[in-house]
Structure 1
């Protein structure tokens, strides 16, 4: 399998990371409107339909990794050394940076007590619990298991369809168990292992197994998959629209008819989100293929440059945005305390999304050009001898 650059994946990264920012800013604005109000339900429905981002990003991670290593000589130790260096350094640096930021910004009681600080740091490092570092934590688990995935897909190539379907069904069943059994179980009666799983489900690779396996299988048959989505672009678009409407209806049903808690109604880990996230991921691939076919046209050059920048900085955007969102939250909260109109509050929602997205992109681009420091956003500079970069994530 010849190594190739997937321009469609560049657009997918840019698209998905933009909606990651949308998720986090929408959560901020949900706190500014009365609970159960039409505005609150509207924000909640939109938020639920945006909960495809982590799954889609992990799916394209599986695609890119398998396209890079499938069918080629594969040295496990070299792979681990390269990947863990590239992701481990940003993981540790940002874990410490977030801990420092929280201590300086929020100044919680006893935060700087040596014993409490050590406990917090160790817990953060071994659980990926600081802001959105769960993605890096899960990715490191994926890297650890990746040699088995490569070997398994090579050995059982005849059964890729069966593996894909089996992994999908297992993921749906797992989400059902989590939503309808584990999520509602009183923590006081939980075994210790199950309690730990509930508290850290988002940092556990099993909760994302389909997206890595599915992405890997897609990579093994990528030319055929790509041709299929291009042929069925209109059908995919129609299904996407119906799926978004279905997710909104499901959320409103849970909230208004069943009286479920908001955290349950818009839960990421629920059965319906598996087929929905897969449909959205396929739709982003359709958009990516359309972009790849047009990117060299003169009137697309400006957009092509933007996509390249957005893709290259996507990892840094993920890492930088939490601190910017904290300041947006403080500003929006202060303005609402002053009694701004609800329409001004609504207008600040898209403005905040764009501000955080482009500010994070600019900071990520700048950091990516600074020797050594560029490692914290998963990039390398010409002065660095270490080859690679997290653009493959």
Structure 2
């Protein structure tokens, strides 16, 4: 079943992480800029239309999670307790810290003083729901970590993995049709949280985890398929990216959906688009591995290591950006021209803060990257 060394380092993933986290930031920055523009302006409409083309990053990171974990553990799953301990230290500590730290100024802003009773009761709710400060991704990943020891043992018993991947795709596609066309008409007010808020449920993303697991278990064969069809993959990806503009207008003009429903990440079209753009980023990563020199690889690897910290700390510069934009009273087209500056500010701030926090023993755990772990990984480039 496995046709490569499970302990070898997947260099391709470094560039993929960097592309996906940069996509996350541009998605959230464009939201901030659109929020500051007047409704109905061409500039705001362009930003709103662009959002669907950026809605691949969440799925990309889930693909990487399935890929990396199965790549590492498929030969020797090890003890579930050992696995959970490592993941609790890497993800659990940052999840608890950043929710607690970021919720503190929010309570102060809402009440103009620290209401500790409201703080702790509110903190409990956001920790069990994962619905604040862009923590939804960590909330889903934690669920996958809890299930992973069982998942890897199940995955290792499967001989016809193509069939499992195909069934997973069909189920995912059917579920997305149901979410888009039938679910909005159903009263979900009395449903349990994990069913009502399906975006927080790990099973909503089952295909991407299985897609990553499949790639890890069939690494060489699948890479050869991607390389053989790379031109078509690039072309179709570009066509599908442009096609998201048509999807947005279809949702708005034909289906008469609200803006939030038009930009919904859970749509059948985006499943196909995400598969191709994940394939494209993998091909770009493969090309980068073969062509980049050692210096470039070292910095890309460093950026990939900081990507988790970037995701955790992005709320800070984004809130600063919202505050700055609220002070600006300019025409929408000028604000649009200023977008690269805002993006550069958020990108440099988050990567800089993540880099600083990762340098010290205690703070490195707050960005999910202990000094020891970073030193071990950096040996690859020494």
**TM range, smaller chain:** over 0.9
Q: Which residue of 2 aligns with 1:191?
A: 190
Q: Which residue of 2 aligns with 1:100?
A: 104
Q: Which region of structure 1 is more displaced relative to structure 2, 145-154 or 172-181?
A: 172-181
Q: Name the SS of the counterpart of 1:33 in structure 2.
A: coil
Gap regions ≥5 residues in structure 2: none
TM-score (norm 2): 0.92
Q: Is the 8 A contact 2:104 2:119 kept in 1?
A: no
Q: Residues 185 and 349 from structure 1, CA distance in 2 versus in 1: closer, same or farther, beyond 3 angstroms? A: farther
Q: Is the 8 A contact 2:234 2:280 kept in 1?
A: yes
Q: Which region of structure 1 is more displaced relative to structure 2, 107-116 or 204-213?
A: 107-116
Q: Which region of structure 1 is more displaced relative to structure 2, 257-266 or 55-64?
A: 257-266
Which of 363, 383, 388 is 2:353 aligned to? 363
Aligned-pair Cα RMSD in Å: 2.1
Q: Is the 8 A contact 1:149 1:213 kept in 2?
A: no
Q: Which region of structure 1 is more displaced relative to structure 2, 29-38 or 323-332?
A: 29-38
TM-score (norm 1): 0.90
Matched ranges for 1:134-173 at <5 A: 134-156=136-158, 158-173=159-174
Q: Which residue of 1 aligns with 2:362?
A: 372
Q: CA deviation at 1:208?
A: 1.0
Q: Is the 8 A contact 2:310 2:351 kept in 1?
A: yes
For 1:388 and 1:99, the matched residues in 2 are separated by 33
Q: Spell out structure 1 runs of 4+ moving beyond 6 A.
A: 384-389
Q: Residues 70 and 175 from structure 1, CA distance in 2 versus in 1: closer, same or farther, beyond 3 angstroms? A: same
Q: CA deviation at 1:202?
A: 2.1
Q: Which region of structure 1 is more displaced relative to structure 2, 168-177 or 85-94?
A: 168-177
Which of 199, 206, 209 is 1:212 aligned to? 209
Gap regions ≥5 residues in structure 1: none
Aligned: 1:64 with 2:63: no
Q: Name the SS of the counterpart of 2:272 in structure 1.
A: helix
Q: Which region of structure 1 is more displaced relative to structure 2, 38-47 or 16-25?
A: 38-47
Matched ranges for 1:228-243 at <5 A: 228-243=225-240
Q: Residues 312 and 176 from structure 1, CA distance in 2 versus in 1: closer, same or farther, beyond 3 angstroms? A: same
Instruction: Count residues in correspondence.
Output: 374
Q: Residues 196 and 222 from structure 1, CA distance in 2 versus in 1: closer, same or farther, beyond 3 angstroms? A: closer
Q: Which residue of 2 aligns with 1:311?
A: 304
For 2:300 and 2:260, the matched residues in 1 are separated by 34
Q: Which residue of 1 aligns with 2:338?
A: 348
Q: Is the 8 A contact 1:55 1:277 kept in 2?
A: yes
